[in-house]
Chains A and B, each alone.
Chain A
Amino acid sequence: MLVLLAVHALAAVLAPSLVRALGRRALYLLALAPAAALGWALTTATATETHPWVPQLGLEVALHMGALGRLMVVLVGGVGALVLAYSARYFAPDDAGLGRFAALFVAFAGAMLGLVVADDLLLLYVFWELTTVLSYLLIGHDAARRAGRRAALQALLVTTFGGLAMLVGFIVLGEHAGSYRWSVIAGDLPSGPLLTVAAVLILLGALSKSALVPFQFWLPAAMAAPTPVSAYLHAAAMVKAGVFLVALLTPAFAVSAVWQAVAVTAGLATLLYGGWRALREHDLKLLLAYGTVSQLGLLVAVLGTGTRTAALAGAAMVLAHALFKSALFLVVGVVDHVTGTRDLRELSGLGRRMPALAAVGVLAAASMAGLPPLAGFVGKEAVFAAFATGAPLDTAVLAGLVAGSALTVAYSARFVWGAFGGAKPSEALPPGPALLAPAALLAAAGLAAGLAAPVVDGLLAPYAAGLPGPGYHLALWHGLSVPLGLSAVAVTAGAAVFAATRRRSRDAAERPPAGTAAYDRLMHGVDRLAVELTGATQRGSLPFYLGVILLVMVVLAGVALLAGAPWPVALRPWDTPLQAVVGAVVAVAAIGAARAHRRLTAMILVGVAGYAVAVLFILHGAPDLALTQALVETATIVMFVLVLRRLPATFSERPLRGSRLVRVAIGVAVGAVAAAMAYVAAAGRQARPVSLGFPDLAVSYGGGDNVVNVILVDIRAWDTMGEISVLVVAATGVASLIFRRSADLRQRAPAPPPGPGTGWLRTATGAAQQSIVLQVVTRLIFHVIVLFSLYLLFSGHDAPGGGFAGGLVAALALAVRYLAGGRDELNAAAPVDAGKVLGTGLFVSVGTGLAALPFGGQILQSAIVDLHLPVLGHVHLVTSTFFDIGVYLIVVGLVLDILRSLGAEMDRQMSEPEEAA
């Protein structure tokens, strides 16, 4: 079975290229995939396969095909192959969406196949959602049509909602029963209230997927899909998923009265509603859609009952319905194809002009109406027999079923009359045999299944075997029995209804399916709620956001601290008094920054605090950290200055006194909580720190003397990997915020440098706003800075430095070039798109990590290479250096991106009005 799934997946992947190469004919080739499933199911009775998947979660690809699964595989594969063959003629040869359609369709067939053979409930859910998503894409085949998009979204939302409920139901059931393998838990399902909850939730999923009341409205809307999609998804396959689920679970769930009650009630309501609506439609496809809704109701009602006869009848009806309904859809597709309309008020005389098409349509419609000797008749007889027990409840259901059958007869007649009746001659050309053949085959299969009822009985009986009830057998002739009488009643009544509604229906107003209004109201409510919620929380006020974030931190951390953090008793004020001095500098600078009126002053004071923190690091004996902190602080100041150019020199009007007090209070609280957290956290350690072994490991394992750097690029390289990924995302975000139009974004790719200027830099012009002093100094020290950055990069493994610090230094060199010579100089210095530098960096880092795999190592595992070269001497090389090179490039790319965005692009935007004038 896994092989079959793989074949479908492969076919789906290859489909677009095949269609490009072969055109429509490729669909015949692709039809081999579902055909293979059909062939396999026809020759295999039962099968079980188990493959490991996610052992940590206890998930495995457990596949099982029993009698029910076999029936479904036959339908999914057989109908799928025929519909694909039909599509090869249905679509225009130059249809641009054909490759997409083919891929999605085959993928859908594969997902459906997986759904019906999945034994693990969670696996079943995965396939279930796959069919939902693929059906969304298939319904929206023509993305340019609004109705198609709307219908696709509606189907997606409704079935996903049901799917989620079902997932919860599965989990309740799985945890309740202790296993997710249906073949394991089906035998002895422990009863209890949890089982009822699970039953209701799972039924919710099944009802939404199979478009039962109250979810019926999405299916008629989904008729916006191309007809082959409707024929497959909305007749034979996807909507059958819900029916299949009911059929699968009923034998075990029938003990739950709720299951039975919900399934039968919803089923009967849907049966009658769908039949009634089908009589009022003018569009043949919508008529069939409501007919499908009606039939799905019948199937769920019968399959949810849980007696042996009902189960057998339901299975027979599933088969019959799939055959006649997909045939009918294909016939409608042909009618649409040759006449250009599906409106039965406009169609006339098609029966005389195209007898072959009419014969196929009539045969399939007769099966739908339940006329002998077709499969529909055999199924309906069995359905009536299942409820003809004389028990009051059964009799009530039986009455509903007969009424539903009468409606079915009526709309079947209406279909035939509407599509083929009438005397007006038609101008349309008859379809070719290739277009008609799939429908004819399906209709003929319905006839064959009816005639060979005993064979079908033999195949389906194992499914119903375990259930209570008399030993009924599918057959064309049971003698003069109650069911036969009821059939006669239904046909007669149906004919009468058709005769009565035939005239009136022509005046019936076209209305959207019931439930659409409720859906619309719900969606509108959700939209409204989203808007209100966004309006209430996202007010666009930065102080408000900051306040909320900080308050949350104060409350969470503060409560945790007060609630029982182990407060250390011993207090050591400082290691050296110098720390107190530096700490005081930080505090004074911070307070000064908060009180500053000029933005530049505030920025400089923040910088002072930052550099002082770097000094604190040095006093702590962490030169690496101090170096990085100082560099980051410098880079930050450059960026601040770039931003400050666009802001007023002083802060805006101070807020009111009350609001100011609140701010001060929040600030003080945050400071106090943060300090307390640091104090408690540092002293709260209970276990031996894992980092105690790092110094030794760094040398023996990482091949470097600088523990900090080895931690970054080796011991905890995964952390670094995450961080640099965030950096790349942040850089992209900055660029996309500043470059407001995508046309501007392309300008990140630099312009060619203009002619010579002052001669000190490549593009500097000597204009008044450029400083000659800065240019000369830049010229003299630029290469030295870059060399120093490389030194930091390469020495980082053994001495303070590393890719991050080196990258910052190189980036600062570029920043100096920008400050000295403007944006043209920056482009001349780094004539590359920042995005490419970022991408290359990430590629190098990830590539280094992956490079360990072919050598049998783990991802990001580093190797130490010691070489003795002639002349040069001993070379000590650690592969993690390459990882560091990636980090270096990413940092350079990030700063380049920011310089281009906040610097160059803002220069351009600021100068734009002048240029325009």
Chain B
Amino acid sequence: MTPRLRRRNRIVAVAGLVAVWLLLWGSFTPLTLAGGIVLALVVLAVFPLPPVTFAGRLRPWPIAVFTALFLRDLLLASAQIAWLAIRPGPPPRSAIIAVPLRVGSDLNLTLTAEAVSLIPGSLIVEADRRTGTLYVHVLGVTGPAGVERARAGVLDLEARIVRAIGSAAELAALDPEGAPR
């Protein structure tokens, strides 16, 4: 890693922590700013961690799309789970499905896993770092068609995340023609 990149990383980390600090205090004064910078430096120095290598870039419009659709999924899934919980009948069937992601980076794996877990009814059981595969427990799945639908849903989510923050190479990986798996 070049010194320049390392410096950029450090500045991003400090800036992020200072922003959190200012939000916590809810005020922007010279005192809170100075205190935030000092404490951010202290925290980073006392608890050193490996630098995060973030190769992607933030794209405002896809981020907005992701957010909107994520909220929609959240609401829909909540309603479905609520119905599953109170409807009469036997307990719902569920499935554990393997979803090989198209972009196997740790960060993408994690973000997709977190997003899937946040949506009610689906939960990450296992994430295989080596093959970039998520194992998802899905509630209320019946038949192979349902399994395929759930798998497609996870892949859709992944695509939206990659479009929002992924690198150019990762975007390319989404296109099955460009990068056959």
Contact = CB atoms under 8 A, between A and B. Distances in A.
Interface of A: 756, 758-762, 766, 771-773, 775-777, 779-780, 782-784, 786-788, 790-791, 794-795, 829, 871-875
Given A759-B50, A771-B127, A776 B21 contact: no
Contacts of B30: 871-873
B32 to A, nearest CB: 10
24 contacts: A758-B129, A759-B50, A759-B106, A760-B106, A761-B50, A762-B49, A772-B110, A772-B127, A773-B110, A773-B113, A773-B114, A773-B127, A775-B106, A776-B109, A779-B50, A784-B16, A787-B17, A787-B39, A787-B43, A788-B20, A790-B43, A829-B47, A871-B30, A873-B29
Given A760-B106, A773-B124, A777-B114, A791 B49 contact: no
B48 interface: yes
Counting chain B CB atoms within 10 Å of each CB, the highest count among A758, A761, A779 belongs to: A779
Given A784-B20, A786-B43, A873-B30, A776 B48 contact: no
Contacts of A875: 31
A352 to B, nearest CB: 82
B107 interface: yes
B112 to A, nearest CB: 9
B25 interface: yes
B40 interface: yes
A791 B24 contact: yes
Given A759-B50, A762-B48, A782-B49, 8 more contacts: A759-B53, A760-B50, A760-B106, A761-B50, A775-B106, A783-B47, A784-B16, A872-B34
Contact of B107 (A756, A771, A776, A871): A776
A802 to B, nearest CB: 15
A772 B52 contact: no
B110 A776 contact: yes
Contacts of A766: 129
A25 to B, nearest CB: 54
Interface string B90-125: 000000000000000011011001100000000010
A872 B35 CA distance: 10
Contacts of A780: 52
B19 to A, nearest CB: 10
Contacts of A872: 30-31, 34
Contacts of B68: none
B43 A873 contact: no
B127 to A, nearest CB: 5
Nearest first, the 10 A-B pairs at minimum CB distance are: A776-B110, A772-B129, A791-B24, A872-B31, A773-B113, A773-B110, A872-B30, A786-B43, A773-B127, A759-B50
B23 to A, nearest CB: 10
Given A773-B113, A773-B124, A776-B106, A787 B34 contact: no
B24 A783 contact: no
B30 to A, nearest CB: 5
A773 B111 CA distance: 8
B111 to A, nearest CB: 8
Contacts of A771: 127
B61 to A, nearest CB: 24
Contacts of A782: 47, 49
A783 B50 contact: no
Given A773-B113, A777-B114, A875-B31, A758 B43 contact: no
A403 B48 CA distance: 89
Contacts of B47: 782-783, 786, 829
Given A766-B129, A875-B31, A756 B50 contact: yes
A81 B30 CA distance: 73
Contact of B31 (A758, A784, A829, A873): A873
Nearest to B117: A773
A871 B30 CA distance: 7
Contacts of B106: 758-760, 772, 775-776
Nearest to A766: B129
Given A776-B106, A777-B114, A872-B30, A762 B50 contact: yes
B44 interface: yes
B13 interface: yes
Contacts of B127: 771-773
A443 B96 CA distance: 101
A775 B107 CA distance: 10
B24 A788 contact: yes
A896 B31 CA distance: 32
A556 to B, nearest CB: 46
Contacts of B49: 761-762, 779, 782-783
A597 B77 CA distance: 31
A854 B16 CA distance: 42
Contact of B109 (A756, A762, A772, A784): A772
Nearest to A829: B47
Contacts of B31: 872-875
A776 B127 CA distance: 12
Contacts of B16: 784
Nearest to A813: B47
B118 to A, nearest CB: 12
A873 B28 CA distance: 12
